[in-house]
Structure 1
């Protein structure tokens, strides 16, 4: 375009010259022919210092009307009018720029210029590494540097690692496979050969932090045992009730272990008490009323510590126990958690379990089971009704199984309704996930009177059972078995009736009760003999040899693993049999039938089922076998008999025929349960 413009100017000048020559001398063009060939050609190259590769190129020369510049990087040519410059971006490298200068006659002179483009190394490289919140194995990396056009990162966790690119102002995340020290290298790129690198050590650890659930496969749970305690993370041996998690800690207190045997769990940092000042721990203990001590200690000074005791309230079942540290000096730094079981007693070879150590709010002000009436901070509502006067009072007889300070007194006033009783609303519904039995300590001046325990809610749902007192003027513990009756219903009120006899009015008698709680999950119906933890007592007597054994014929109606074998030895008494004591008494409600699976080599022989208790009360009934050498289910219907007592022993007799001695036959039975 510039060339066309110059040609037009030249043409115009020539016409002028022709016009003048016509006036003066048509053949005089000497001044044009006298224009010199371009000379003194030069090319000034000015490179920026920001690693952008930008160059400013300024041509110069004499007798030149136009420059044509080839940058030497295969990007093409450009025309430049003398006195002007051109900007061009080079990559790092060496180039030969070619400049052609042309005069108005079209004569040219060529000039070459070496262009050296080299980038400076990036400066002031700063690398920022941050942990990803909630993920001990992940980091975030960013970097900044002067003269950098980008970055590359080597995280240092694999061999022959391929660098990960990272743009300016970009943050990238990386997850390490395991704990350890890693060398992380960030390289700042100049856009050319020059680079600047920084290497940082990244320490990946996975410290123990609250809450501690012992479920992580990447955390190394370290126990500093002392005094004869041995702590180990194991599979939950009793995944039920309040703790169905997979992993727990086994606390074994060796025989002869110190009274203060325990273990230290070191945390990754000081405990934060800004929100929670109490701790909760899920506990499983073979001992009720045993002291669990939780101690918090400074990492460097054992004299800086705080400790709280709590008591187990059940046996062989999970429960949550609480430790209120709100009165401790929480301005101190505590980073060690120390657990003691059965504190104050020497080791006896007992095994305890604990799990889910976590912070919680200061001990709950909500009322729920167990009800021991000892917490002065709780607002127990004790509601007597229909002529029952009920109050929280001091224990009038702190002896025997109940030496606690506070109990509930209820007086069934003269003329009170037979259904006069005491209601206690609960804030926390009763959790029957681990057991469906409730125990309560009672004190009564009358023996063999029914005590009705009723559980209900605001929706009108309820269950109720009667259990008779067995002693007078002393504390005893009664148990109500609601097995099969609770049906997942949430009960939020406990109601207690003494001497619940229809149409029998109150006579002014005073009773007491205390410690309403979920009963120890003991042995009771149904008896399937499959629980590996349960201590089944299989008692053969009068020539019957009885024991738990593997099912010899897992077919038909009984494919279970374990059954009871009983062999009626040669010459055994005709009343030789098998007694099985149970912890949860049989209480008939809604049915008076019991079913049992039996296996007999003999047809049409009587099988006697007897239910009895320690007071000499019993019911018994014979039902004959109908098949041989296979399992069948028999049903004993006790309707019409006195099934009111609570029976705590099941007795089974095979071939109960008077004066017929044993002949060495072997029988089996299983799955004793209520029948519909």
Structure 2
């Protein structure tokens, strides 16, 4: 799923370029100084009616843990990593806070509610959600503090312990029927348990683009021919264009001609629009031609293909542009083989040949086969900032006053080109043919009194751009993690720089050092320092970004950009939330306050079977969790008619799934709603927020699209 994330990462720098003529800027190699990650804790409660709870915190990069027991008057205790603490509770519910501190002094927090009851657990139940080989168990019981879950995978299985109001996930090795046993425990000596049988179906879903080999519900079996073999394996070489520790496809050639394989796609590849480029990550240690062919035209379209040569350098990205490079494939008795051909229809079969007419033997790896060729430049402006000008030191933004001394294109000998472009009446900076690029402030700025630096970035070429602040005390980078083809709004705590020894008292330059420096393009806007404590509004000040999908490819429930279907309600009578219809910057918005959960229902059930994504824009200043559920009533169109299906997507602020105090576009593939077995009779959309009943969320642009 494409969810907006802010990832601050530090990189080691060997050589840097600056535009400073008189000063020599020292280059530094430095260690990762990020805060501890993965902070959690293992809890245990003695079942002897004493209320003794043991707490064992864990977290990567943590040196010490400070435990706040959630009891008024109880002193917090600091322990070293690997140690355990305990506390004796009376009956009640307690919010335990754990602060993990790393060697650099940076901290991360984990919070857990623990219920202590000396009454035996009662009314045990649990729900299971199965997706491919993975099962998620969510237990519930009155008076229970925690649950031991046995997934029935082996006779000597150790249970997985999960706290109340939580879920636990397990992936089985193979399909089959398994007995899941849950034991509910509290402070009482008595426990209760419940066993259910679940069916694990394994990977049965058809292959659709993009092909990642990581979805446990998809059957990635490749229809090989002429001696080739295929299997899904873990990426054997985390380098080059594929450094992700994930699954990849392994094609092994035996050494005869025209070895290959094919996928019969669950959804045809559509070349009718502008998206006519297919990219594929491919691994080989020898130079080899790779042929990508599409056949099985839905309406009898002519078969088409492209051959690309891999250099043999490991992981590379091969790009097949069917708008400019495609030719007609060989067909017995059909003329025109090899002629240029631009496909404009839909194809149900994708074929791959490695060294088709040749006899090269060996194993080759493929990954991340996806269709692209969409926008190569931003069509809309970045979202206007909302910070008050009194709290801002601006470098470039239409919303604030920029210093006249700033030079956005100093001559440092770079190959990069510079242009100011107009996007919907808003200026942005375009850097093309990039290798590195700087901004010279024309003097020294004192940014030491500010908390954050903000920048909006758009690029179809770069996923990560090292960004340097250059001060008289030195220079240090932070990675700007960019979502391809979208404006990415990034807020960086200035502690990310001061913790590396940059004073920020005399900032005179910025630098972008793109990786790889291959002549790509990126755009920037709204570059400024600011103080969040004084600037964060409690509601959106600007409209959500306008959607740009063609109306013919959209089913809209709520948006000023499209014609909406008729909705019966945006707040059902069983909802637990307050609804207000507002106008923000002239744009209609739904505001849900005191949000626990809220249902929206169309007048007529929606057939979204031809759609690929569910999208909405969301703004919240206080949510820790957002959940989005789609409910389909099945072919009979009735609630609980026996063929209902539903699935809920859970987004957590702590995981970076969304950010606060900014419009965030959630563009979720419908394939991620794995429990939604049908999309032809969608009858309900349910938004939920956490903390339950304490959250305010603004919603705009709710629609399905392909």
TM over 0.5: no
Q: Which has the higher contact order (CA 8 A, sep 6+)?
A: 2
Greater Rg by CA: 1
TM-score with structure 1 length normalisation? Answer: 0.28
